[in-house]
Amino acid sequence: MKIGIFDSGLGGLGVGLRMIDALPQYDYIYLGDTQRVPYGNRSQESIYRFTREAVDYLFSRNCLLVVLACNTASAEALRRIQQEYVPTHYPDRKVLGVLIPAAEVAAASGKRIGVIATAGAVGSGAWPREIHRIREDVEVFQQAAPLLVPLVENDGIKWAEPILAEYLAPLHARDIDTLVLGCTHYIFLKEQAQCLSPGVKVISPEELVPERLADYLRRHQEIASRLSTGRIREFMLTDMTDEYIGLAQRLTGRQIEFRHVVL
Ligand code: DGL
């Protein structure tokens, strides 16, 4: 059985490829919902439904474990999927999110934590909730950054800096010591975020998610032992254009063979 990696679009490729590099022995299916990206400005109900459809697809393709690389899906849909949907429909499968690992690293890193994320993730309150669950004596400041995902998905990184600076300004005004890039797409803006945030520790999901997955599999041998190790990689998109394929190559520096899927 395989490991599924889900993101709303191409942004999760950065995290997904790092996971594959860290644990190359396993078989993977990456699914990017390019037809419906961005998720971040949609209602919780839509994000839940889209995420559930992605999970259904990945389970139908023999994934034992699905990682929601997408922070927005992790914030808006994960809990319901883990507590209600998976136990009833797929009692022997697992869905993991990425928000709690980043919250743990952030809580250990500073006392004034800034988070930039999609509007949906910010509105869910998941970041302050999870960080405060780990540590109460920290302050968490959030900023929704709705323009950044469309910029990344449309090859517009070169225009991002002034917009990113606008989004970061209210967080710097609160004197943050830690900045969480709370969206897979923002990892492609990490250098710009660090330049705009001197002296601030920037936490980026691709740096911590692979190690957390490895740790999970070490602790859950009953899962790890059922994973197939044929080094198969499949990359599926719900909408496929030449632009998407070119952009994926520019973002990741790799030649990836994508296939189209209808959910
Ligand atoms: N990639 C998603 C995340 O990590 C959100 C992008 C979107 O708005 O679809 O939050």
- Is a pLDDT exceeding 90 seen at residue 176? yes
Is 63 in the active site? no
The residue annotated as part of the active site, out of 15, 55, 69, 70, is: 70
Distance 148 CA to ligand 1 centre (A): 10
In this structure, the residues whose C-beta lies within 6 A of any atom of ligand 1 are: 7-9, 11-12, 37-40, 70-72, 118, 121, 149, 183-185
Dist CA 204 CA 190 (whole Å): 7
What are 82's two structure tokens? Answer: 């883990």
Dist CA 77 CA 52 (whole Å): 8
Mean pLDDT of 244-254: 93
- Is a pLDDT exceeding 90 seen at residue 228? yes
Q: Torsion-angle region of residue 155: left (phi > 0), alpha (psi -120 to 50) or beta?
A: left
Atom of ligand 1 nearest to the CA of 205: 4
Q: What pLDDT shows up at residue 205? A: 93
pLDDT in tens, 118-160: 999 999 999 999 999 999 999 999 999 999 999 998 889 999 9
H or E stretch at 167: helix 160-173
Mean pLDDT of 65-85: 96
Say what angle helices 99-109 and 126-134 make with each other, to 10 degrees. 60
Query: Of 131, 256, 258, nearest to 182 (Cα)?
Result: 131
pLDDT in tens, 27-65: 999 999 999 999 999 999 999 999 999 999 999 999 999
- Is a pLDDT exceeding 90 seen at residue 72? yes
% of the chain with per-residue pLDDT over 90: 98
Q: Are strands 94-96 and 112-117 parallel, antiparallel or unpaired?
A: unpaired
The per-residue pLDDT of the chain, averaged, comes to 96
Q: What pLDDT shows up at residue 153? A: 87
Atom of ligand 1 nearest to the CA of 146: 8
Q: What pLDDT shows up at residue 157? A: 93
- Is a pLDDT exceeding 90 seen at residue 178? yes
Is 183 in the active site? yes
Distance 185 CA to ligand 1 centre (A): 7
Q: What pLDDT shows up at residue 230? A: 97
Confidence category of residue 75, pLDDT binned at 50, 70, 90: very high
With beta carbons less than 8 A apart as the criterion, state whether 34 and 243 touch.
no
Q: Which CA distances in Å does 103 have to 97, 118, 135, 152?
A: 11, 16, 10, 24
For the whole model, what pTM was predicted? 0.96
The residue annotated as part of the active site, out of 149, 183, 189, 247, is: 183
Mean pLDDT of 200-226: 96
Q: Which CA distances in Å does 71 have to 96, 144, 155?
A: 11, 13, 21
DSSP per-residue letters across 189-255: GHHHHHHTSTTPEEE-HHHHHHHHHHHHHHH-HHHHTTS--S--EEEEESS--HHHHHHHHHHHSS-
Main-chain phi, psi angles of 202, to 5 degrees:
-100, 125
Q: What pLDDT shows up at residue 7? A: 96
Mean pLDDT of 166-176: 98
